[in-house]
Chain A
Amino acid sequence: MAEKFSVIGKSIPAKETKIKATGECKYVDDLPTDLHVKILRSPYPHAMIKNIDVSAAEKLDGVEAVITYKDVPNRLMPRGCARALYILDPHLRHVGDEVAAVAAISESIAEDALTLIKVDYEVLPAVFDPEEAAKPDAPKIYPEGNVYGPQYEPLHEKGINAPTLLEWGDINKGFSEADVIVEDTFEVGPQIHAAVEPHICITSWVGDELTVWTANQVPYEVREGLAYVFEMPESKVRVLSPFIGGGFGGKYLNRYHAICALLSKQSGGKKTKIRFTREEEQTNSKRFLSKQYIKIGAKKDGTLTAIYFKGYADLGGYGNFFGNSGFWGEYPAAAYKVNNSRFEGWDVHTNHFTSQPMRSVQVPATVFSVESVIDQVAKKLNMDPTEFRLMNMPQTGDVMPPLPYTANTVGYPRAELEGYPSKKLMKLVKDELGWDKKWKGWGRPVEENGTKKRGIGIVYSGYEGGFCHDGFMSMAASMNKDGSINIMAGTQDLGNSSNMTMCQLAAEFMGIPLEDVNIFTGDTSIGQYDYFGARASRELTTGGHLLLKALEEIKQKVRIIAAPRLGVKPEEVEIKGKMAYVRTKAETDALKEAIPFAELITSSITAGASGEPGSVFPETAPGKKVRNSMVAGIEVEVDTETGEVKLLNMVTANCPGKAINPEVVKGQYQGATIMSLGYALWEDFVYDENKRAYLTDSFTDYRVPRAQDVPPLKTIVLEETPDRPPHEGTPYGAQGVGELGCWSGPAVVASAIYNALGKRMQKSPMTAEKVLELIKEGENK
């Protein structure tokens, strides 16, 4: 698009940046409360409460309310895309599961009270490995079994107890046509979201109205769950989530809101507050632990013929945002041009704590496994890894096979890719990394220096990012008499400047200064809705799309008012800069006759937008498909005596479609990439079965990357936008940017380690212990 923009494409800092920096910004923890809540947690991974006695705790001075499973409604609480659960349950499913809760006048008294609660547990056998847990004779975490197929119905209560199967083409035929077949297995540990702000909420249940202040990615889901479980109308439940201190997919646990609310009610409407400790935070929400089995076939000339994928993902005792496998399963189909594919995805409950997505569903694990096997196929074919990928990766304009609609995945029709400059990204990374000069062949170090070997790796990933479920969200805008705009947003800003991005869109679209736009969000009483919330990189794509639709409707209303005055048809009226003028005339002439809004309108004009009920994937023109694409390259140095991996230099190239706020886009990519390096190397997760304890429950022992751990990191942003009006499809051709930066970490590090050592890592994180083990005894692959 040759069009010049005046507001979008500029790096404007978020409105709240200053108050966040100075500390004036009021997070939930800064708000006043009457009572503090502490939760008694299960010491066993799997147990049944036989007896619970809270009488001593209740008698303690300063304690105002205590609840156990006996005090909660006999009604399952829905949780968006997840299994419904009881607010408290005598059946405990992981170490740290909620047993009872106390509200007291101080945190310290509440903690003292917990020690006075007497519980008899019947200890049940536990299972931690998702593949083991999927077997019919595994300990049953739910009566119907542990396997949970993905579904989209909002209020489902039971698992399907079957894997997700997706198949297209003929997998057997695909493998029979192959000259080369490689199979391999991979494992990834969970990753902790590790947001700086832990889960927190304050609740106040006065009369028939419940108010909740929380830090949550999906406030409407919180409202829906609470209203349903307490049998209240949604209009009487108000959820406010003004500022979030980091989410990353972890900030939508929801049971604790209900616990807190019930304690508020029991204490006669006092404000009650739950604030997770760091230890609670680190042992209540994680990314899935998973195993992947991959088999890929290709012809001698390098054409891929078949991809088979089987994966087991651990949901933990409850899980959140299922449908993991459904989304997961698209990957092999989406990333490469291959006509025969079969996917088998097992979402399995285990006795670990809750799994939630983290900057996407299990994509980094998938990329790690698929790219590792792609590497091995290329090696067998004696092809350069970049050439092999360039041959098989789809790009803008390619028509992708349809993903089948099945019982439990929505699928999508045959579609032409848009905003997917994969091959250009590959070339950019190759050049920046100096690939052609450095590459010495498979398993050959770039350089050797004593006990140290350097290797380079390059991987590619492409996946949904910012998929639009626009039928599940609403956005509204109101144009004031002076032409300024109020946005009433269903979207939620989780600290990623999405509010500023929305304002930029509105200012650009209406041709008004940015200062004239204001956004209201983070409060369900605004009257908008979003079922999926700030997840799946979709706030800009879905929310922005709906916002522009609403603004277009406002423009249309003004056009109708202005048309007779201008003596033209409404479609000939241009709305810009708080004026209406004739579009078909030369602009200088038209502007002379322009009518200012002050002379046109006598009231504010409001419009709201939502997709058709249930509408999914309308982010592009019909028959088109937007997808995120990124390529990552890295150079590492492996110390062959200690197994330590030093990151020397990294380059990523990413396509955001249109970068509405370039610094925000870059920040998202870089933050995500750094997170994925932590995931690849240091963020080990340790559960000690003997002690029945998660040992990595603090930042001392759960090692997120420090600034000094991050290598020089070049982040290339390559825009590519379709040619169509900004309010059709994603706004101005923008794509989601929150997730793709983190997809390549484990894959690219493993690839570079392979090229340094000639040996391949199959488990991530690739701690020095595991790398040294590989050096000492791994067999050549």
Chain B
Amino acid sequence: MSYPHVITKTIKEFKLISPTTIEEALYALNEYKTDTRIIAGGTDLVPLMKHRAVTPKYVVSIEKLKELDYVRLVGDQLRIGALTKINTIKNSDVIMKNCYSLYEASLVFATPQIRNVATIGGNICRSSPSADTVPSLLVFNAQVKLVNQKGERIIPLEQFFTGPGLNVADSDLLTEIIIPIEKGEYGTAFHKISRNTSDLAKVNCAVKVSISHEKFSDVKVALGAVSDRPIRAKNVEKLLIDKKINAENIEKASEMVINDINPITDVRSTEIYRKEISKVLVKRMLNLAVERAQK
């Protein structure tokens, strides 16, 4: 981010609205529409406002909506409230057991200070192509619940993102992430490559594989920071499903990731490098997930 002409550091005046119920929040969002921003942890929004990259007239704080801060098992679903902090995810046994790659993402997510305030809902709604929680959610086929005054809808997370910083939530409040609980022999893994500790990703990648009779019965691969939004690597997945589990197949499939990604050169890395390490990351995560599935 750079504004060489006028380097601003002060936030434009705005009105803070602090609803105590979801209804009040939805009312406010409906009332002020495009002039409004939701604030959860504020770790993304506040820097944007300081640089006046966004200048909302109203900011709706959802901090007091404690009912959106939970991790729970409901039937065969894992449900995470939008206001759940990254640190809660890191410390949750339920998540470690049922969504291990998300737990792994929380370990390398920012710093303890940020993890204590940043929320999973904010990570999704910021819709950064490099969001660290998203690849894991994608390989677990997560869905998100969007609510507004007219009602609610549940959509696959994959359909949520529309571009860098862009998504389908209009004046919607994201309230919940719904993850179907995986059964059977499966393994999952996440890794992020970054410049140094607690940095944003150059590339991040999550994989989930299901195994049956020494074959891949299901494969899901997702990557971040290699396209205008977090993506699934369907070319890799296709090539592996129903194939035998061996190094050659994994190697060959990993190469295919090139057809799924479209990385750019930016301050964090280069297009060429991102292409190279996407292949490496996919291969390593597939191997690791397989190893975990076989345990």
Chain A interface (Cβ < 8 Å from any Cβ of B)? 40-43, 95-96, 106-108, 111, 114-115, 277-280, 283, 641-644, 681-682, 684, 686, 688, 691-698, 700-701, 703, 705-709, 767-769, 772
Instruction: Report the Cα distance A463→B8, complex, angstroms.
Output: 42
- Complex formed: what's the CA distance from A283 to B7 in Å? 11
Interface residue B67 (Cβ < 8 Å from any Cβ of A): no
Residues from chain A with Cβ under 8 Å of B266 in the complex:
695
- Collect the chain B residues with CB atoms within 8 Å of residue A697's CB: 1-2
Contact between chains at A277 and B4 (CB < 8 Å) = no
Contact B7 A41 (CB under 8 A): yes
Task: Chain B residues near A700: list those with CB within 8 A.
Answer: 200
Does the CB pair B10–A705 fall under 8 Å?
Answer: no
Q: B residues within 8 A CB of A111?
A: 6, 8-10
| Residues of B174-226 whose CB lies within 8 A of A | 193, 195-200, 202
Give the distance in Å from the alpha carbon of A697 to the alpha carbon of B6 in the complex: 14
- Residues of chain B at interface, number, CB under 8 A: 32
Interchain nearest-CB distance for B13 vs A (Å): 8
Contact status of A694 and B200, CB under 8 A, knowing A769-B273, A772-B276: no
Q: From known contacts A642-B280, A682-B196, A709-B196, infer whether A691 and B7 are also in contact, taking CB-CB under 8 Å.
A: no
* Residue of B whose beta carbon sits closest to that of A36: B10
The smallest beta-carbon distance between B4 and chain A, in angstroms, is 5
Distance, CA A705 to CA B195, complexed state (A):
10
Closest beta carbon of chain B to A383's beta carbon, Å? 35
Determine the residue in chain A with the shortest Cβ distance to B111.
Answer: A706
In the complex, residue of chain A having the shortest beta-carbon distance to the beta carbon of B273: A769
Q: Interface majority SS on B: helix, strand, loop or mixed? A: loop
Q: Which residues of B contact A644 (CB under 8 A)?
A: 193
Contacts of B267 in A (CB 8 A): 686, 695-696, 701
- Kindly list chain A residues whose C-beta atoms are within 8 Å of the C-beta of B12: 108
Query: Quick check: A706 and B196 within 8 Å, CB to CB?
Result: yes
Interface-central residue, B4, B10, B12, B270, by most chain A CB under 10 Å: B4
Given A684-B195, A697-B1, A703-B195, 12 other A-B residues pairs in contact with their CB atoms under 8 A: A41-B6, A106-B10, A108-B13, A642-B193, A681-B196, A682-B196, A688-B2, A694-B2, A695-B266, A701-B267, A708-B198, A772-B276
The chain B residue sitting closest to A107, CB to CB, is B10
Which B residues touch A692, using CB under 8 A? 4
Using Cβ atoms and an 8 Å threshold, which residues of chain B touch A41? 4-7
Complex: A707 Cα to B272 Cα, angstroms: 29
Contact with A along B6-29 (1 / 0, CB 8 A): 111111110000000000000000
B197, A709: Cβ atoms closer than 8 Å: yes
Select from chain B the residue with minimum beta-carbon distance to A686. B267
Q: Is B195 a contact of A682 with CB atoms below 8 Å?
A: yes
CA–CA, A693 and B1, complex, Å: 9
Chain B positions near chain A (C-beta within 8 angstroms)? 1-13, 111, 193, 195-200, 202, 266-270, 272-273, 276-277, 280
Question: Residues of B contacting A684 with CB < 8 Å?
Answer: 195
Q: What is the CA–CA distance of A696 and B94 in the complex, to the nearest angstrom?
A: 39
- Are A705 and B7 also in contact (CB < 8 A) when A694-B2, A695-B267, A697-B2 are? no
Contacts of B9 in A (CB 8 A): 107, 111, 277-279
Docked pose: A682 CA to B269 CA in angstroms: 11
Question: Across the interface, do B7 and A277 meet the contact criterion of CB distance under 8 Å?
Answer: yes
Q: Which residues of B contact A643 (CB under 8 A)?
A: 273
A769's partner among B1, B3, B13, B270 (CB-CB below 8 A) is B270
In the complex the two chains form, what is the Cα distance from A177 to B11 in whole Å?
A: 68
Contact B276 A705 (CB under 8 A): no
Closest to B202 in A: A768
B285 → chain A closest CB, angstroms: 13
Query: How distant is the Cα of A115 from the Cα of B276 in the complex, in angstroms?
Result: 43
Which residues from chain A contact B195 at a C-beta distance below 8 Å? 682, 684, 703, 767-768
- Are the CB atoms of A280 and B7 closer together than 8 Å? yes
Q: Taking the nearest CB of chain A, how far is it from the CB of B115, in angstroms?
A: 14
Contact of B5 among A43, A641, A701, A705 (CB under 8 A): A43
Who on chain B is nearest to A705 by CB?
B196
State in angstroms the CA–CA spacing of A696 and B268 once bound together.
9
A708 & B197 in contact (Cβ 8 Å cutoff): yes
Nearest-CB residue, chain B, relative to A682: B196
* Chain A residues near B270 (CB-CB < 8 A): 769
* 8 A-B pairs (CB sep. < 8 Å): A41-B7, A106-B10, A277-B9, A279-B3, A642-B280, A682-B196, A693-B2, A703-B196
Q: Which residues of B contact A641 (CB under 8 A)?
A: 277, 280
Residue of A nearest to B195 (CB): A703
State whether B196 touches A772 (Cβ < 8 A).
no
Q: In angstroms, how far is the closest chain B Cβ from the Cβ of A756?
A: 18
Contact B277 A642, beta carbon cutoff 8 Å? yes
Q: Which of chain B's residues have a CB closer than 8 A to the CB of A693?
A: 2, 4
Chain B residues within an 8 Å CB radius of A696: 267
Cβ–Cβ < 8 Å partners of A43 in chain B:
4-5
Inter-chain CA distance A53–B67, complex, in Å, is 54
Asked if B1 contacts A698 (CB within 8 A), the reply is: yes
| Central interface residue in A691, A698, A707, by most chain B CB within 10 Å | A698
CA distance A706 to B197 in the complex (A): 6
Chain A residues, CB < 8 A from B202: 768
A698 neighbours in B (Cβ, 8 Å): 1
Q: For the complex, what is the distance from the CA of A707 to the CA of B11, rounded to whole Å? A: 31
Does B4 lie within 8 Å of A95, measured CB to CB?
Answer: yes
Min distance, Cβ A279 to any Cβ of chain B, angstroms = 5
Residue from A108, A279, A682, A767 within 8 A of B7 (CB atoms): A279
Taking a contact as CB atoms closer than 8 A, the residue among B4, B6, B10, B277 that contacts A115 in the complex is B6
Q: Which residue of B lies closest to A275 (CB)?
A: B9
A40 to B3, CA, bound (A): 11
- Chain A residue numbers with a CB within 8 Å of B111 are 706
For the complex, what is the distance from the CA of A42 to the CA of B2, rounded to whole Å? Answer: 13
Which of chain B's residues has its CB closest to A776's CB?
B276
Most buried by B among A106, A107, A277, A696: A277
CB pair B273–A772 under 8 Å, yes or no, is yes
Which residues of chain A are within 8 angstroms of B6 by Cβ–Cβ distance?
Answer: 40-41, 111, 114-115
